[in-house]
Chains A and B, each alone.
Chain A
Amino acid sequence: MTDISREALRADIADILEIAPADLADDANLMDAGLDSMRAMNLAAQWEERGLPLDFADLGEAQTLAEIHALAQARQGKAPA
Chain B
Amino acid sequence: MSGQARPLTEAQSGLWYSQALDPANPIFNTGQYVELSGPLDLDAFRRAVDRASAEAEALSLVFRDGPDGPVQALGSAPRLSVVDLSAEDAPEVAARAAITAAMKTPADLARGPIAAQTLYRTGPDRHVWSQQVHHLANDGYGMVMLTRRVADLYAAFRAGEADGGRPFGALETVWAEDGEYRASARREQDRAWWMEALSGMDEVAGMAPGRAVTAHDFLRHEQPMADTAREAVGALAARARVPWPDVLTALVAAYCKRFVEGPEIVAGVPHMGRFGSAAARVPAMVMNVLPFRLAPDEDLPLEDFVRQAGQRLQAARRHGRYRSEQMRRDLGLLGGNRRLYGPLVNVQPYDKPPRFAGLDARLRVTGTGPVEDIAFTFRGEIGAAITLEVDANPQLYGQDAIEAHAARLECFLARAANAACLAELDTATPDEAAREIERFNDTAHPVPETTLCRLVEQALADHADAEAMRFGGASITYRELDRRTHELADALRRRGAGPDRTVAVALPRSPELVIALLGTLRAGAAYLPLDPDHPPARLATILRDAAPVAVLAEDDPHEIHGDRLLAPGDWVTGSQPAGGPTEQQQPDRPHLAPDHPAYVIYTSGSTGAPKGVVVPHRAIVNRLLWMKTQYGFGPGDRVLQKTPATFDVSVWEFFLPLVSGGTLVVAPPGAHRDPTAIAALIRDEGITAVHFVPSMLSAFLDVPGSKGLAPARVFCSGEELPADLRDRFHRRLAAQLHNLYGPTEAAVDVSHWDAGPGDRSRPIPIGHPVWNTRLMILDDRMRPVPPGATGQLFLGGVQLARGYLGRDDLTAERFVADPFHPGERLYRTGDIARRREDGAVVFLGRDDHQVKIRGLRIELGEIEAAIADSGLTRAAAVMARDGRIVAWIVPGDGYDADTLRDMLAARLPDYMVPAALVEMPRLPVTANGKLDRKALPAPRFASGGGNAPKGPDEQRLAALYVEILPLDGPPGRDDDFFALGGDSLLAVQLMLRIAEEWGHDPGFGALFEAPDIASLARRIAGGAAIRDEGLAPVITLARAGGGRAPLFLVHPAGGIGWGYRTLARALDPARTVHALQSPALDPARGLPDSIDALAAEYADRLEACHPAGPCHLGGWSVGGVIAQALAVELESRGREVGLVALLDAYPAECWQAEPEPTEAEALRALLAIAGYDPDSHAELDTRAKVIAFLRAGDSVLGNLPPAVQDGVIRAVLDTNRLVRNHRHRPFGGTLTHVRADADHADRPHLVADLWRPHCNAVDALGVPFLHPQLPGAQASALIAPELARRMLERERIVA
Give me the interface of A with B, judged by CB distance under 8 Å: 16, 18, 31, 34, 36-42, 44-45, 56-57, 59-61, 63, 80
Q: Which of B165, B272, B275, B318 sits near A59, CB closer than 8 Å?
A: B275
A10 to chain B, nearest CB (A): 18
**Interchain CB contact under 8 A, A42 and B277:** no
Q: Judge whether A60 and B276 touch: CB under 8 Å.
A: yes
- Compute how far the CA of A18 lies from the CA of B350 in the bound complex, rounded to whole angstroms: 22
Interface members, chain B 342-382 (any A CB < 8 Å): 349-350, 381
Interchain CB contact (< 8 A) of B280 among A18, A34, A57: A57
Q: Does B271 have its Cβ within 8 Å of any Cβ on chain A? A: yes
Could you tell me if B350 and A38 are in contact, using CB atoms closer than 8 angstroms?
Answer: no
**B274: contacting residue among A18, A31, A37, A63, CB under 8 A:** A37
Option from A36, A44, A80 in Cβ contact (under 8 Å) with B314: A36
- A41 and B317 contact, CB distance less than 8 A: no
Partner of B243, one of A39, A44, A59, A63: A39
Task: Evaluate contact between B381 and A45: CB separation under 8 angstroms.
Answer: yes
Determine if A56 and B280 form an interchain contact, defined as CB atoms under 8 angstroms apart.
Answer: yes
Known contacts A36-B275, A36-B318, A59-B275; is-contact A41 B349 (Cβ 8 Å): yes
A38 near B313 with CB under 8 A, answer: yes
Cβ of B245 within 8 Å of any chain A Cβ, yes or no, is yes
Q: Is B314 a contact partner of A57 (Cβ separation < 8 A)?
A: no
CB distance from B318 to the nearest CB of A (A): 7
- Report whether B350 and A45 are in contact in the complex, using a CB–CB cutoff of 8 Å: yes
A36-B349 Cα distance, complex, nearest whole Å: 14
Looking across the interface, which residue of chain B has its beta carbon closest to that of A60? B276
Q: For A36, A39, A59, A60, which residue has the most chain B Cβ atoms within 10 angstroms? A: A36
The chain A residue sitting closest to B141, CB to CB, is A56
* B347 CB, nearest partner CB in chain A, Å: 8
The CA-CA distance from A40 to B165 in the complex, in Å, is 20
**Which residues does chain B contribute within 8 Å of A61, judged by CB atoms?**
276, 280
Once the chains bind, are B314 and A60 in contact (CB under 8 Å)?
no
Do the beta carbons of B272 and A57 come within 8 Å of each other? no
**Within the assembled complex, what's the spacing in Å between the Cα atoms of A41 and B275?**
9
B244 neighbours in A (Cβ, 8 Å) = 42
Q: How large is the interface on B (under 10, 10 to 19, 20 to 34, 35 or more residues)?
A: 20 to 34
Residues of B contacting A80 in the complex (Cβ-Cβ under 8 angstroms): 164-165
- Do B381 and A37 touch (CB < 8 A)? no
Measured between beta carbons, the chain A residues less than 8 angstroms from B276 are: 31, 60-61, 63
Contact of B246 with A by CB under 8 A: yes
Contacts A57-B281, A60-B280 given; does A37 touch B349 at CB 8 Å: no
Q: For residue B277, which residue of chain A has the nearest CB? A: A60
CA distance A42 to B347 in the complex (A): 12
| Known contacts A45-B349, A60-B275, A60-B276; 15 further A-B pairs (Cβ under 8 A) | A18-B241, A36-B275, A36-B314, A36-B317, A36-B318, A37-B275, A37-B317, A38-B243, A38-B245, A40-B275, A42-B349, A45-B350, A56-B274, A56-B350, A80-B165
Chain B positions 519 through 537: 1 when the CB is less than 8 Å from some CB of chain A, otherwise 0 = 0000000000000000000
Chain A residues contacting B313 (CB-CB under 8 Å) are: 38
Q: Mark B264-295, 1 if CB is under 8 A from A, else 0.
A: 00000001101111001100000000000000
Give 1 or 0 for each of B310-326: 1 = CB within 8 Å of chain A CB: 00011001101000000
Which residues from chain A contact B350 at a C-beta distance below 8 Å?
41, 44-45, 56
| Interface-centre pick from A31, A34, A40, A57 (highest chain B CB count, 10 A) | A57
A-B contacts, 20 listed (Cβ < 8 Å): A16-B243, A18-B241, A31-B276, A36-B318, A37-B271, A37-B272, A37-B275, A37-B320, A38-B349, A41-B245, A42-B244, A42-B245, A42-B349, A45-B349, A56-B274, A56-B275, A57-B274, A59-B275, A60-B275, A60-B280
CA distance A60 to B277 in the complex (A): 7
Alpha-carbon distance A50/B996, docked complex (angstroms): 52
Cβ of B245: which chain A residues have Cβ within 8 Å of it?
38, 41-42
- Contact assessment for B280 and A42 in the assembled complex, using a CB-CB cutoff below 8 Å: no
Q: Which residue of B lies closest to A18 (CB)?
A: B241
Q: How far is the CB of A74 from chain B (nearest CB, A)?
A: 13
- What is the predominant secondary structure among interface residues of chain A facing chain B? helix
Q: How many Å lie between the Cα of A5 and that of B244 in the bound state?
A: 27
A59: which B residues are within 8 A, CB to CB?
275
Q: Which residues from A are CB-within-8-Å of B164?
A: 80
How far apart are the CA atoms of A81 and B318 in the complex, in Å?
Answer: 35
Distance between Cα atoms of A57 and B349 in the complex (Å): 15
Question: In whole Å, how far is A60's beta carbon from the nearest beta carbon of chain B?
Answer: 4
**Chain B residues within 8 Å of A63, by CB:** 276
Task: Give the docked Cα–Cα distance between A3 and B1030 (Å).
Answer: 74
Contacts of B246 in A (CB 8 A): 38
Task: Look across to chain B and name the residue whose beta carbon is closest to the beta carbon of A31.
Answer: B276
Residues of B within 8 A of A39 (CB): 243
A42 vs B314: C-alpha distance when bound (angstroms): 14
CA distance A37 to B349 in the complex (A): 11
Minimum C-beta distance from B855 to chain A (A): 55
Q: Is the CB of B280 within 8 A of A38?
A: no
Structural contact, B281 and A38, CB atoms closer than 8 A: no
Contacts of A42 in B (CB 8 A): 243-245, 349
A56–B244 Cα distance when bound, in Å, is: 17
Q: Render B38-74 as a binary contact track against A, CB cut-off 8 A, 1 for contact.
A: 0000000000000000000000000000000000000
- Convert B972-984 into 0s and 1s, putting 1 for each residue whose CB lies closer than 8 angstroms to a CB of A: 0000000000000
A44–B277 CA distance with the chains assembled, in angstroms: 16
Closest A residue to B145 by beta carbon equals: A57
Bound CA span A45–B272, Å:
16
With a CB–CB cut-off of 8 A, which chain B residues contact A38?
Answer: 243, 245-246, 313-314, 317, 349
- Chain A nearest CB: distance from B152 CB in Å? 8
Task: From A34, A37, A42, name the one whose CB has the most chain B CB atoms within 10 angstroms.
Answer: A37
- Closest A-B pairs by Cβ, 10 of them: A37-B275, A57-B280, A60-B276, A60-B275, A38-B243, A36-B317, A60-B280, A57-B281, A41-B349, A36-B314
Which residues of A are found within 8 Å of B280, using beta-carbon distances? 56-57, 60-61
| A80–B381 CA distance with the chains assembled, in angstroms | 22
Name the B residues within 8 Å of A31 (CB-CB): 276
Closest B residue to A38 using CB positions: B243
Return B599 CB to nearest CB of chain A, in Å.
63
Chain A residues near B317: list those with CB within 8 A: 36-38
* Bound Cα distance from A61 to B317, whole angstroms: 17
Cβ of A57: which chain B residues have Cβ within 8 Å of it? 274, 280-281
Residues of A within 8 A of B271 (CB): 37
Query: Which residues on the A side are within 8 Å of B318 (C-beta)?
Result: 36
A39 to B318, CA, bound (A): 12
With a cutoff of 8 Å between Cβ atoms, the chain A residues found around residue B281 in the complex are 57
- Max chain A C-beta neighbours (<10 A), residue from B243, B271, B317, B318: B243
Q: How far is the CB of B52 from chain A (nearest CB, A)?
A: 16
Chain B residue nearest in CB terms to A40: B275
When distances are taken between beta carbons in the complex, the residues of chain B under 8 Å from A45 are 349-350, 381
Q: Complex: how many Å from CA A44 to CA B317?
A: 18
B190 to chain A, nearest CB (A): 14
| Residues of A with C-beta under 8 A to B381 | 45
Residue of A nearest to B249 (CB): A38
A37 to B165, CA, bound (A): 22
B968 → A minimal CB distance (Å): 50
**How far is the CB of B121 from the nearest CB of chain A, in Å?**
29
Q: Chain B's nearest CB lies how many Å from the CB of A61?
A: 7
Bound form: Cα–Cα A38–B274 in Å: 11
CA distance A59 to B350 in the complex (A): 14
By beta carbon, the residue of chain B nearest A16 is B243
User: A34: nearest residue on chain B (CB-CB)?
Assistant: B314
Taken together as a complex, chains A and B put the C-alpha atoms of A44 and B275 apart, in Å, by 12
Q: Is the CB of A60 within 8 A of B274?
A: yes
Give the complex CA separation of A36 and B313 in angstroms. 10
Report Cα–Cα, A40/B243, bound state, in Å.
Answer: 10
Q: Which of the listed residues A34, A39, A44, A59 has the most CB atoms from chain B within 10 Å of its own CB?
A: A39
Q: How far is the CA of A78 from the CA of B350 in the complex (A)?
A: 23
- Nearest residue in B to A44 (C-beta to C-beta)? B350
Give A30's nearest chain B residue, CB to CB.
B276
Q: Quick one: CB contact mask for B607-621 with A, threshold 8 Å, 1 for yes?
A: 000000000000000
- Whole-angstrom CA separation of A40 from B349 in the bound complex: 11
Q: Which of B224-282 contact A (CB under 8 A)?
A: 241, 243-246, 271-272, 274-277, 280-281
